[in-house]
Amino acid sequence: MSNVNSTVNEVAPEVAGHRKSEYPVNPQFLNRWSSRALSDRKVTEQDLFTVLEAGHWAPSSYNDQPWRFIYAHTEEQLTVFHQFINEFNNTWAANAPVLILLASDKRRPNGDLNGAHSFDAGTAWGSIALQANLLGLTTRAMGGFDHDKARRLLNVPDSFELHVVIALGYPGDKDQLPPNLRDMDVPTSRRPLKEVIFKGTMKP
């Protein structure tokens, strides 16, 4: 049975001291944050596929669905991913029971360039992150990896752009992180809403 997050309808205690929305939003948007602290508890295949299913149902331009999810779930597969993730990220990502490379097709089915493929892939990542949180899982996306090596080791065609590697797992004890990362492993706040919204036009 899936470990459904008990804080779906309320702000989680570890988040309450760091995040407060100016307007009422569903608590899942506050409860989702990108921790580096992961336990060694395995993620079931059912929960993994539920997370990927959520990403698969993201909206996309012309319904092209350009995203592709290459996942590592076994020790052998994870070892391959560790070869192209950079050293800094491997200090914590090596503990992740699941790693997912998010890529997207730069061309539409008719061969035309798809100018929206990156935007659509980002939407899929957001759906993955929220669904994982609803299952009591945590995610962190990282751009620090060798793209050329990943492409080669995972046999990704040149027509696909590689975006991020997503670490997926259950929250762990941040005291197990390297000392330089422990204080950083807290839910981040956001700048005031008035700094990112503009009525009618963006004024100087």
With both helix axes pointing from N to C terminus, report the angle between 75-84 and 147-154 in degrees, rounded to the nearest 10.
150
Question: Does residue 22 form part of some domain?
Answer: no
Which helix (DSSP H) or strand (DSSP E) does residue 168 occupy?
A: strand 160-169
pLDDT of residue 4: 47
pLDDT of residue 52: 98
Q: Give the count of domains, the chain.
A: 1
- Counting beta carbons within 10 angstroms of the beta carbon of residue 26, is it exposed (0 to 12), middle (13 to 18) or buried (19 or more)? exposed
With both helix axes pointing from N to C terminus, report the angle between 45-56 and 117-134 in degrees, rounded to the nearest 10.
140
Question: Does residue 180 form part of some domain?
Answer: no
Question: Does residue 139 form part of some domain?
Answer: yes
How many CB atoms are located within 10 Å of the residue 93 CB?
24
Q: How far is CA 162 from CA 58, 63, 102, 150, in A?
A: 18, 20, 6, 9
Question: Does residue 179 form part of some domain?
Answer: no
**pLDDT band with cut points at 50, 70 and 90 for residue 70:** very high
| Domain encompassing residue 67 | 35-174
Q: Which two tokens stand for residue 178?
A: 């390297």
Question: Does residue 46 form part of some domain?
Answer: yes
Question: Does residue 50 form part of some domain?
Answer: yes
- pLDDT, tens digit, for every residue of 139-165? 999 999 999 999 999 999 999 999 999
Question: Does residue 192 form part of some domain?
Answer: no
Question: Does residue 15 form part of some domain?
Answer: no
Which helix (DSSP H) or strand (DSSP E) does residue 79 occupy?
A: helix 75-84
User: Domain with 167 in it: what CATH number?
Assistant: 3.40.109.10
- pLDDT, tens digit, for every residue of 190-199? 999 999 999 9
Is it the case that residue 11 has pLDDT exceeding 70? Answer: yes
